[in-house]
Amino acid sequence: MTNDNAPTIMPGSRVTMHYSITLHDGTVADSSYGDEPMEFVMGDGTLLEGLERALYGLAPGQQQVLQIPPQEGFGFRDPENVHTMARAEFKDDMPLAPGVIIEFATPSEVLVPGMIREVAVDTVQVDFNHPLAGHEITFKVDILAVVPADEQPNEQEQV
């Protein structure tokens, strides 16, 4: 039950919520339930745009459960994001096995995760697609608090 005067989620709102992302087979891919709730500002890039759209208009005390297709969630798998690399590019003592996730630095020093798909004598196949790419997900949220953008302190004014 919500208060009719409670603020609703709009662009710039500070939102505190619990969430879960579940795959079609029931596997929980990510969740804040049983842990600290997530806090973020709508539009700050914390959530994917498709996940943010599911929150607009919700108020504290409300719950939302939505099926999010791949194109609105984590996108589709791109075969061009799977690369075969020389085994020599990896340290000799690095444990390489299918399913292992390793951080790689791009030329601009941005770190990106890659999952090992196959290991051969001279090569290693690395998948740089998001692990949830290609999956329809169930996105469940429980809204705990909403602070409208106009009620948040301006960080530039703080001394």
**pLDDT on residue 3:** 59
CATH architecture entry for 14-74+132-150: Roll (3.10)
Where do the structural domains in the chain lie, given as residue ranges? 14-74+132-150, 79-127
Nearest to 44 by CA among 19, 6, 15: 15
pLDDT tens, 83-96? 999 999 998 888 89
**pLDDT on residue 54:** 87
* CA–CA distance, 21 with 31 (Å, rounded to integer): 6
Going from the first residue of the chain to its last (159 residues), give the mean pLDDT of each consecutive group of 10, the final group possibly shorter: 77 96 93 96 90 92 94 93 94 90 88 93 95 93 94 56
To the nearest 10°, the Cα dihedral for 125, 130, 134, 138? 140
* CA–CA distance, 80 with 129 (Å, rounded to integer): 9
Nearest to 127 by CA among 137, 136, 117: 117
- β-pairing verdict for 111-119 and 101-105: antiparallel
Nearest to 37 by CA among 21, 54, 52, 19: 19
Q: Residue 9 has which token pair? A: 């989620």
CATH dotted code for 79-127: 2.40.10.330
**pLDDT on residue 48:** 86
Q: Do domains 14-74+132-150 and 79-127 have the same CATH topology?
A: no
pTM over 0.85: no
